[in-house]
Amino acid sequence: MTYTLYGMAGSLYTARARSYMRTHSVPFSEVKAGSEEFVGKVVPQIGRWIIPVIKTPDDAIIQDGAEIIDHLDGAGFSKNPIYPTDPKLLLIAHLFELFGSHGLLRPAMHYRWNFDEVNLPFLRETFRDVLPSGLPKEAEDAAFLHASGRMRKAAEVFGVNPDTYKLVEESYAQFLLLMERHLQEHPFILGGHATIADYGLIGAMYAHLGRDPAPLRLMQISAPNVFRWVERMNMAEVFVDDSMDRSGGDLFESDALPDSLLHIMRFISDDYVPEITAHVDRANSWLEANPEVETGAQTNNKSMKSGLGLAPFEWRGAAINTVVIPYRFYLLQRLQDAFDRQPQEGQTAIRAIFESTGLETLFTLRTNRRMERQDNQEVWGDIQP
Ligand SMILES: N[C@@H](CCC(=O)N[C@@H](CS)C(=O)NCC(=O)O)C(=O)O
């Protein structure tokens, strides 16, 4: 009954799946993505090189962190409910899933690729996970240069450039401070156990910001409780600390949410809503210009090039352009679908919390066509009502 996780120690999205697998004691082996097994057998089945991927004990292949977690949750591995049953908490969990997987790309890329003096020897080693085994030294160096060159370009299309370095650092310092204040009192984002909120955030917070030497040091020095949470998110043991609120495992009461959580939500509104708004606008202009796109057509989702181009927006007073990634719309839709499923009065109560933190636009901000996943790829769906 063992699973295989194909990934990379330094990969943001692998960290999300791995964290679930570790914290819920899923038996698995991790096989590096540079392996012949992955490149030769798995990639052809998915149709693109992308991680994470799991192979189940009955040889099914699943790509995508959210789908991997849902599959394992459905198989009964979750020790606690990772989707809160309280509708308000559920919607907040989806918010963190969306922001966590795409709202922290600027600090994740900046602190990885703009601190070569401290990070480079470590990155060179860690990137061996995506290289074939047994390469001669020279070929390995060339392959690292190629792979890291692509990632440095990705940092740029996520909005990291010399004009924004300072803003990225300020924004991340603010985020770390808010997370530190929250995690000083509560073990996880929504209280006593991890939910999809935590799994969304852990990708960037572990793989880059809690593992690469420069940002790891920053986290340990300026936000020790965030570092402790990163550790908790990678361990199978039950965490007990009776000095913390709800360390027995219960989630918050949704009518008494701690201010520290609402402050992080307000941060997400300021930092991320302008970006996702610009991306939805850009996708809708693209859809208007490309009306012939058929339902089921693949979006060519890539980290750096999606075919939807760059979206311009103002971020912290700077004009930036970032690449539009279709997968974000899929996560945004998960939040909206969860909202749409609630009865009217439930929606009113949820809306009140999102309005008080400047996030209500997320319920109406929709691409004109749905974003679906089929055969491990993002594809355009039907026109949204
Ligand atoms: N939706 C995906 C996103 C996966 C993703 O973008 N993974 C990155 C690595 S962290 C990747 O494989 N990118 C492909 C590339 O760089 O070509 C998930 O969460 O599984």
- Going 376 to 361 to 311 to 369, the CA torsion angle's sign is positive
pLDDT of residue 122 exceeding 70, the answer is: yes
Cα(186) to centroid(ligand 1), Å: 30
Maximal C-alpha separation, the chain: 64
In the chain, how many domains are there? Answer: 1
CA distance 146 to 135: 14
Residue for token digits 């459905």? 74
Is residue 384 very low, low, confident or very high in pLDDT (cuts 50, 70, 90)? Answer: confident
pTM of the entire structure?
A: 0.97
What would the mean pLDDT of 31-48 be, rounded to a whole number?
96
Q: The dihedral of CA 17, 111, 231, 252: what is its sign?
A: negative
CA distance 144 to 54: 25
Pocket, ligand 1, Cβ cutoff 6 A:
11-13, 49-52, 64-65, 302-303, 327
CA distance 341 to 91: 11
Cα–Cα distance measured from residue 187 to residue 67, given in angstroms and rounded to the nearest whole number: 25
pLDDT at residue 219 tops 90: yes
Ligand 1 closest atom vs CA 301: 6
- Give CA–CA dist 61/376, Å, rounded: 9
Count of alpha carbons within 13 angstroms of residue 340, beta-carbon side:
12
pLDDT at residue number 305: 64
Q: Which numbered atom of ligand 1 lies nearest the CA of 330?
A: 1
Q: Is the pLDDT of residue 116 over 70?
A: yes
Q: How far is the CA of 303 from the centre of ligand 1 (A)?
A: 6
Q: What is the number of the ligand 1 atom nearest to the C-alpha of 63?
A: 20
User: Residue 123: which region, alpha, beta or left (left: phi > 0; alpha: psi -120 to 50)?
Assistant: alpha
Token duo for residue 192: 């006593």
Helical spans, DSSP H, in the chain: 12-23, 36, 43-46, 65-74, 87-102, 105-113, 116-126, 137-157, 165-185, 196-202, 213-222, 224-232, 259-289, 326-340, 344-356
Determine the distance separating the centroid of ligand 1 and the alpha carbon of 12, expressed in angstroms: 8
Q: Please give the number of the atom of ligand 1 that sits closest to the Cα of 12.
A: 10
How many angstroms is it from 142 CA to the middle of ligand 1? Answer: 22
Distances (CA, A) of 13 to 7, 135, 354: 9, 26, 27
Residue 301: is its pLDDT beyond 70?
Answer: no
What's the Cα-to-Cα distance from 325 to each of 213, 241, 301, rounded to whole Å? 28, 39, 7
Q: With bands split at pLDDT 50, 70 and 90, how would you rate the model's confidence at 304?
A: low
| Closest residue by CA, ligand 1 atom 13 | 50
- CA-based nearest residue to 251, from 194, 179, 198: 194
Q: Which tokens belong to 332?
A: 């945004």
List the domain range (segments joined by +) for residue 74: 1-385
Determine the residue of 18, 21, 50, 330 to mutate for testing ligand 1's pocket, defined as the one with the most ligand atoms within 8 A of the Cβ atom: 50
Structure tokens at 193: 């156990």
User: Which of 8, 13, 302 for a ligand 1 pocket mutation test, highest count of atoms within 8 Å of Cβ?
Assistant: 13
β-sheet bridge partners, residue 188: 191
CB 60 within 8 A of CB 12: no
d(CA 51, ligand 1 centre) in Å = 5
- How does pLDDT run across 166-204, given as a tens digit for each residue? 999 999 999 999 999 999 999 999 999 999 999 999 999
Q: Please give the distance, rounded to the nearest whole angstrom, from the Cα atom of residue 96 to the centre of ligand 1.
A: 18
